[in-house]
Structure 1
Amino acid sequence: MPNPDQLARIRTAPGFIAALDQSGGSTPKALAAYGIGADRYGDDAEMFDLVHAMRTRVITSPAFTSERIIGAILFERTMDGAIENRPTAEYLWDVKGIVPFLKIDKGLAEHAHGAQVMKPMPELDSLLDRAVAQGIFGTKERSVIHGADPAGVAAVVNQQFEVARRVLDKGLVPIIEPEVSISAPDKAEAEALLRDALTAGLDALPEDAVVMLKLTIPSEDGFYSPLMAHPRVARVVALSGGYPREEANERLSRNPGLIASFSRALLEGLSDGQSQEEFDTTLATTIDGVYRASIA
């Protein structure tokens, strides 16, 4: 069963979830935005050491506190690493009071029926066992919907719930993330299909199941309010989806109950070359803006 103190915080605490889960494919882009080019590392090990240093700088910053941040999503290598000589998940909860999550998907499969399901996860059970041992509270698994194709939406949602059930069996709380691309020409129609499919999937879960949803900010304000009210949903969070941070915050603020789980938008404006004071001030400004949009 999930840690009851952590679950209570996820259900009710004001704030948002920080997504610090850039994986192998997105790490070079994240490092480049942070001011670290490919000339600074020679292989994947050096690259991941640099991104772990970046994440450590964020997490240890005095701006990164439980007053505004209720959870943080980690990449597998970040979970396996340490911060100030403590396992990352332990540091987050015991030192910062922030609930730790783990990204478990291995990326996206090829396009089919206007969607991308998740790639196979042959090591999922062992990864979930490691997550439990590390004190992880929940998981996050992402797929993408590119248009209002019923077959594609169904494939994404069916797979998401199959994985979610395996996560639940380990006593963890899954964040189901069927992203709808903001560039989809029929985004609102895709969201309507998605909401119906998610509702059916939630209804089919055991009564004591607890899940979360991570969704693109909807085209219609308040569109996901019925999902927030579902008895099996602890919280619904939003990804920035490629919107600039200010636009993402503005759209988010028009959806009461929806809170942020931003990745790129959270790190916007941060640089390896900043002094610690500049870094902390920039991060504090970002966190305050995302927090205000999340509690609007």
Structure 2
Amino acid sequence: MRLHIEKIDTFAGHRDAIYALEAAPEPGQFFSSGSDGLVIRWDLARPDLGELVARIPASVYALKMDDQTGLLWVGQNFNGIHRIDPQSKIEQDSIQLTASPIFDICLFENLALVAQGDGTVTVLDRELFQVRKHLKASNASARSIDVNPFSQEFAVGYSDNTIKIFDLNTLSLKFIIAAHTQSVFTVRYAPDGRWLHSGGRDAHLKTWAVADPYRLHQDVVAHLFAINHLTYSPNHQKIITASMDKTLKIWDAASLRLLKVLDWARFAGHRTSINRALWLPVEAGLISASDDRLLSVWKVTEQP
């Protein structure tokens, strides 16, 4: 099988770099935000009708949809988290956490884990929207968080080049992985919990064996410049990486074999750093966000 890539559309509406993407509850819809503070809802079926959901007075690096409440969590640079009802476009509440950027928000059961630029991971009670604990394991930025429900752990990628593994129940630090030679920008557990993938400024894509524990399993020089984000395809068979080198790359999740490169020359991709990717479970559902203020929509199909 080989992959066929088709660029379906380009969404324009942001006034500055786009850093955050999040799926909406409705099929084929998603949210985006970035340096302009605009939170916009998009519908793949109606590309010309971006809907402004909120106007945040600072850069937004993190969005997370709470499927329990229907509220969108928005991480604001230099302030805290806003919870917004995307239907009414009304802010329900907000909480001041830090004077530094919020780079990632992860929701799991009754916990909200927030990665901050001052190196703190703040643990919130998801329902009460109250701080439970501050985890300070580094003075360097905490950039990315993901939870492994099978091992009851969560991984945090830091700008001190490490990945730190915490116990989900006790919130204690379990392992420190000397993962990369430069900042770790993105971590993601495999859907079955067996592997942890990571990427960062050194442009390496790495896989760690969770049960070993966290032995390096694969190391691929994946891009020319930093890997800003990685995520899985809806069927869990592929990984996509978004890079500062202006490319998206699709990999076989099991082997890390490169399957496709989406760039400007071959696919009219982005001309500047690609900061985020989102792969929705619809046919034309691969979305990429860039410093060029644009969102690209891709259709990825398998052909014999």
Same fold by TM-score greater than 0.5:
no
Q: Which has the higher strand share?
A: 2
| TM-score using structure 2 length | 0.32
Q: Which has the higher helix share?
A: 1
